[in-house]
Structure formats: structure tokens, C-alpha cells
Amino acid sequence: MTELERVERIRRTAGRARGMTLGIGDDCAIYQPKAGEELLFTTDMLIEGVHFLRDTHSAADIGHKALARGLSDIAAMGGTPRFCLLSLAVPPETTERWLDGFYKGLLDLTKRTRAPLAGGDLAHADKITCDIIVCGSTPSGTALRRSGAKPGDQIYVTGMLGGSAMGLATGKGAGWKRHLRPEPRLKIGSVLREKYRATSCMDLSDGLSIDLHRLCLASEVSADLDGDLPAFPGASMEQFLHGGEDYELLFTVMKGVVLPGQIAGVPVTRIGTVRKGKPGAVTLDEFLILPMGYDHFRKP
């Protein structure tokens, strides 16, 4: 199959987004924004040998995960997905079957989340390299940011943490499934934005310790972990605090806001309080927690 034929096959199955004037096949995709919406953009790379191995991750898992990571960033802003673009480089010996599986995993998730694939790029490389770009939207001026947490706000997380890291360590069970198929918390993000007016939000991609540190830095506050610690069943304290790729939401709400125990079927748990203090400092039972999650550019 040539590039032209592959692009044509993708085009036929991709669907078309509302507002998408022109999809796959030209130099650019064209999107007509709706009055009153602001647009959210995120890009996320998923690279063989760094983020996944071909032996343990099926083609469909990789397609799913590439997009799920991008959608998780849209969820973190309280956004609604609009469309996505995909740059994909694969080794020349990649089979048609692998490519079909990859696109199936990706396109199934685009359909379920209404984020049609609108364009991208195809190339060859030594290692499978995906870069997903997702565009989402919110009513203008309402997107959730990392920088809005205020002293006194309550800190929450969705779901249970450490499952993906535990799954990566054991290669089996519910943790491994979570690692392979993270679920972007789109519905919860929207509800937090519209109904509970979250003061800040981000997704947990690199681990609670470093991500909470980043949220606190952006908001110029510190944080005390003084609530429940909803660890994934079987996850260690290390995996709970520092494990990456849970793709749950970390967010803050004002002091008086009462949250239900679950939103959209997923538990939400209060884990701490925002404090006035050294920006970025995170404590647990008065011990300082060092940001130990994943940082691609930290020297070992």
C-alpha cells in the first residue's frame, strides 16, 4: 500500500467532526470555530522503547493510548474534544496488519469521544513514533488551568493512583490493563468546570508528587496531603505517590464546595489542602515529599 492509498483508507474510516470544513487529504485540515468557544491544543508523543514495547503492547493498545493521553489533557482543562491530528512514523517493515490494528484502536476512541481524526503526517523511522494533537473547546474564558489554586482550597483526585505503575511492574491484572488502556476523564473534567467551578486542574501523567508540585508552582502555593490516599488496590506507597500514567485528574475546589463521592461513576477523593507557603512544596504528615515522578530531562 502506498502512502496515498493508506491515507485514502484512513480518510474513509475517520468520520468528520462538526465544524470540520476539510478533513484528511489536503495540505491542511480546516476547522470553522463556533462563536463563543475558545480552543484548547495539546500534543503528546508515544515512542517505542520509551513509552511502550511492541512485544507487550498490541497495535490497538498503542493506538488507544496515543490518543487517550492527548484527550486526558483536554479533560484536565474541562474541555470537549473537537478533533485530532496524528503524526505517525513506523519502520519500513511494519505490516499492514499492525497499521490496521493501530488505527482501529485509535479510531474506536475517536468515535467514542467524538474527536474525529482530521489529518496528520505519515513517515518512516527506526522506531514507532506517534505524536497525537488534540483540539478541544470550552466556552470562552472557562477552561480550567493549573494556576488557579488558592490557600484554603481542597485538593482532590479522581480514581485510584499507582495502578499504572504497579501494572508496569507486574505486567498483569487490573493495573496492567489500566496501564494499557487509560481512560481520559472527559466527563468529569466538564462537570468540574461547569458545576463545581474547580479552581485548578491537571491530569496525572508523571506521578502525584511531581504533578502536584507543578500545580503548586503554577499557583504559587504549597500543599499538605492530609486526607485519604486512594491507592489502587495492591499499589505500594511509592507507586501511589510517584507512579506515572494514571491519567486521573488532580484538582482543587473552594473550601465550601461539597463534592459527591463519585462523578460519572468514578470516585473522587479529597487528599489534602492548599496552603500559603513555599511555592511547589508538598508535605505529607509534615514530611516534605520530593517530586520524584517522571521527568524526561532530569539527569540520573
Which residues contribute to the site for a copy of itself (CB under 8 A)? 1-6, 21-22, 25-33, 35, 37-45, 47, 49-51, 73-74, 76-77, 79, 85-87, 89, 118-127, 129, 131, 133, 135-136, 140, 143, 145-147, 202-203, 214, 218, 295-298
**84: closest CA among 139, 27, 147, 135?**
135
State the DSSP code for 52: B
Residue 233 Cβ vs a copy of itself, minimum distance, rounded to whole Å: 27
Phi, psi of 268 (to 5 degrees): -120, 135
Q: Which is nearer to a copy of itself, 29 or 107 (CB)?
A: 29
Q: Which is nearer to a copy of itself, 31 or 240 (CB)?
A: 31
Q: Which is nearer to a copy of itself, 73 or 224 (CB)?
A: 73
Cα–Cα distances (Å) from 271 to 65, 226, 230, in that order, read 27, 6, 8
Q: Pairing mode, if any, of strands 80-90 and 117-124?
A: parallel
Residue 256 Cβ vs a copy of itself, minimum distance, rounded to whole Å: 26
Count the Cβ atoms, other than its own, within 10 Å of residue 150. Answer: 15
Distance CA 125, CA 139 (A): 39
Q: Which is nearer to a copy of itself, 81 or 175 (CB)?
A: 81
Residue 238 Cβ vs a copy of itself, minimum distance, rounded to whole Å: 20
Residue 20 Cβ vs a copy of itself, minimum distance, rounded to whole Å: 10
